[in-house]
Structure 1
Amino acid sequence: MLIREMVGQTFGQRWHYQHLLVERVPFAWHYHPEYELTLTRRARGMRYVGGDVAPFGELDLTLVAPNQAHTWQAQSRADGQTQEVQVIFFTREWLEQLTTGGLPELTGFADWLRKVQQGVVISEACTRRLVPLFDRLHQSRGLDRLSCLLQIFGQLPRDNEARLIGGAPAPEYQDKRVETALAWLHEHYRDPVTLADLAGVTRSSEATIKRLLREQLQDSMTGLLAQLRIGHACNLLITTQMPIQLVAEESGFPSPSHFYKQFGLAKAMSPAAFRKRYHLRRAAQEDAPAMQSSLIRAQSD
């Protein structure tokens, strides 16, 4: 199930920092109105951001745009090491206030954010350069911590190898009816949903909510539903041996044929091919010989 995550503040500031040490990163499909910049270390698995599903490696830094359904998923490591996750949440409103209220140096970062669609995957080279700043961010407090944050912000637009995740750019202003529609779709995407249902929830006409989704998200209700359902289906394909027809049903698709068509359009491969390529148990089995070889070399050294 996809949930609306509540994000707090860090020492009274209008941004929030989290640090987690975990044995594994579970699938937890969620969204929130804040930007999220997440650094994962010593983890390997799948990253889901909106309709984008891709593998990630031992070091991954990704920015997620507001209200985009997302999660990371990684199994426990064979060597027993913990996986580290550092997360920075912030809002566009807070950033704009800083930019206009005395920190015009942030203008470049604010302009770069306006180009962000569903998210951005930062290149490995840039991520490695930023790791020392994330270390300082975790260890510091007060102005030193804020300084680290601003230095991270300053580096991101300089990454010419970053991969933009497709979709509509986050709007400068979002109608409350669109926020209501997104929240309701995130909660009910596995149920049969009609435009009339969405119009009723938002207290608007079908034509109005259809127009608002197109204007502010450059998408339709069916497009948003497909993203959420395919993300859910990808998780089931990767983590279970559930029959594909049941995966389609559990993800909210009205029929297997519709699921196959939508999945093929989104992923350019069949559900079976996706499962074969990315299934976590299979990936773990393939990684095991490499891990064992690495341990043997370390012992011989």
Structure 2
Amino acid sequence: MKPAYEHVSFGDGCSVRVYHRQLPRIPFEWHHHPEYELTLTLNSHGKRYIGDSITAYDADDLVLVPPDLPHTWSSNRSIDADAPQVAIVVWFSGEWARRLADCCAEYAGLHRLLRRASCGLAFGAEMGRALYDKRASILSESPRERLAAVLDALCLLADAPAEPLASPSAFAAPKGKDGAIERGRPTGHEPERINRVLSLIDTRFAEPLRIADFCEAASLSERSLHRYFIQHVGESVSRYLLRVRIGHACRMLTDTAWPVSVIAARSGFPNAAHFNRQFKTLKNTTPAAFRKQFATTGFEPDTAATPLTARSPSLERPSRRQAA
């Protein structure tokens, strides 16, 4: 399924765009854009799709999505049936966020946050409630007050516990406006030895690879490689390689009709049975079930006819005349 491109306009004199969306239901809208997106979803429970991550969500759901990673939420049930479902959405450019972090020590945490967010991040409900408490300032009519509130929120999230969502390389996209790197890959601040291992995985993930291959690429012992990789990437080499392979498999499951056995082979798995076991361990579902969820566009049966009733003007697709 090809995600739709969404145009986000910020308006004159604005560095962030904030949208207060209120709907009886949240429709499935698989899309991407070159901006970072911070979304707080309230009075809603359903499914959240971030790259190849499909997860049930509930109240006070707070997620940071990196540039050009396809995503959507889908819900046909409010927690409080008498109130609308609400999404407070903040879009911002990584370009100015990184520049601010470079020149102001007070905002150095932005670097950590954007690096951690390369695969998308889901924060705990307590962080969702903390952002909700800032809603008056975030939704202010004053651009300066909105920016200050968003910066405060981002710095609060910089070191907050969060769960990575998509697999590295899942739904890889071209660079965004801020020069965003390949989806899910670490930011390039890693030592050259670790970058050689990352490059090896990126180019040869579908081949049989051994720890010895990575040690040779990095000129490190197995013990040192393990320690450095966890320090700079946040997980072991074998775990990272598995997530890269599963990410590529997820893209083929959604974009092609190839048999699972073919996808397994093209993703670096020796056979379909091994692929199915690893996929279910990582995704808590089977490859066939994962494909079916996208094939049915994420809707439960009674939501298929639900139209999109409210849309941010900045997210309307530009006409051909405007696009020219």
Q: Distance in 1 between matches of 2:4 and 2:45?
A: 24
Matches within 5 A, 1:147-162: 147-160=148-161, 162=162
Question: In the alignment, what sits opposite 1:120?
Answer: 121
RMSD between aligned residues: 4.1
The structure showing larger relative contact order (alpha-carbon pairs under 8 Å, at least 6 residues apart) is 2
What is the deviation of 1:12? Answer: 2.6
Structure 1 residues 67 and 5, CA gap change in structure 2 (3 angstroms): same
The CA deviation at 1:62 is 0.1
Count of residue pairs brought into register by the alignment: 229
Equivalent-residue separation in structure 2 for 1:175 and 1:29 (angstroms): 18
The answer (yes or no) to whether the contact 1:41–1:58 under 8 Å persists in 2 is yes
In 2, the alpha carbon distance for the partners of 1:141 and 1:151 equals 16
Structure 2 residue aligned with 1:66: 67
SS of the residue corresponding to residue 151 of structure 2 reads: helix
Normalising by structure 2, we get a TM-score of: 0.58
In 2, distance between residues paired with 1:83 and 1:3?
23
The equivalent of 2:311 in structure 1 is none
Structure 1, residues 131-160: CA drift from partner, whole Å, max 9, x if none? 111232113413222211111011102313
User: What is residue 101 of structure 2 aligned with on the other side?
Assistant: 99
Change in 2 beyond 3 A, CA 1:114/1:271: closer
Q: Which amino acid aligns with 2:138?
A: L
> Larger % of helix: which?
1
C-alpha displacement of 1:257: 5.2
SS in 2 for 1:139: coil
Match of 2:164 in 1: 164
State yes or no: 1:84 paired with 2:86: yes
Q: Distance in 2 between matches of 1:212 and 1:3?
A: 31
Cα offset for 1:10?
4.4
Task: Check the 8 A contact 1:39/1:59 in 2, yes or no.
Answer: yes
- Gaps in structure 1 of 5+ consecutive residues: 183-210, 233-250, 285-301
Distance 1:29 1:134, change over 3 A: same
Check 1:175–1:87 CA distance in 2 against 1; reply closer, same or farther (3 A cut): closer
CA apart distance, 1:273 = 6.7
Aligned partner of 2:286 among 246, 254, 270: 270
Shift of 1:31: 1.1
Structure 2 distance, partners of 1:3, 1:255, is: 26
Per-residue displacement from partner, 1:211-243 (whole Å, max 9, x unpaired)?
89937xx9999866633454x5xxxxxxxxxxx
User: Relative to structure 1, is the Cα distance of residues 93 and 273 closer, same or farther in structure 2, using a 3 angstrom cutoff?
Assistant: closer
In structure 2, relative to structure 1, the CA distance for the partners of 1:86 and 1:214 (3 Å cut) is same
Alpha-carbon contact 1:116-1:169 (below 8 Å) kept: no
SS in 2 for 1:158: coil
Which amino acid letter does the alignment assign opposite residue 100 of structure 2? L
Scaled by the length of structure 1, the TM-score of the pair is 0.62
Q: Is the 8 A contact 1:38 1:61 kept in 2?
A: yes
Distance 1:272 1:223 in 2: 13
Structure 1 61/44 Cα, relative in aligned 2: closer, same or farther at 3 Å? Answer: same
Distance across 2 between alignment mates of 1:28 and 1:37: 16
Q: Which amino acid aligns with 1:88?
A: V
For 2:176 and 2:67, locate their aligned partners in 1 and report how far apart those are by CA, in whole Å.
14
Q: 1:65 to 1:222 in 2, by over 3 A?
A: same
For residue 130 of structure 2, what is the aligned residue in structure 1? 129
Structure 1 residue 120: deviation in Å? 0.5
Does residue 21 of the first structure (1) align with residue 22 of the second (2)?
yes
- Counterparts of 1:52 and 1:120 in 2: how far apart (Å)? 11
Counterpart Cα distance in 2 of 1:91 and 1:145: 15
Match 2:202 to one of 208, 214, 235: 214
TM superposition shift of 1:263: 6.7
Per-residue CA deviations over 1:230-273 (Å, capped at 9, x if unaligned) read: 4x5xxxxxxxxxxxxxxxxxx52223655795676433433677
- Give the drift of 1:96: 2.0
**Shift in Å at residue 71 of structure 1?**
0.7
1: CA distance, partners of 2:252 / 2:167: 16
Residue 54 of structure 1, CA deviation = 0.5
| Cα pair distance change 1:29/1:263, threshold 3 Å | farther
Bigger shift: residues 91-100 or 15-24: 91-100
Matched residues in 1 for 2:165 and 2:57: separation? Answer: 14
1:190-209 matches, cutoff 5 A = none
Letter in 2 for 1:227: C
Q: What are the Cα deviations for residues 145-193 of structure 1, in whole angstroms up to 9, with x where unaligned?
A: 2211111011102313x1122533999x9499x99x99xxxxxxxxxxx
C-alpha displacement at 1:19, in angstroms?
1.5
**Correspondence 1:51 to 2:52:** yes
**8 A Cα contact 2:27 2:75, kept in partner:** yes
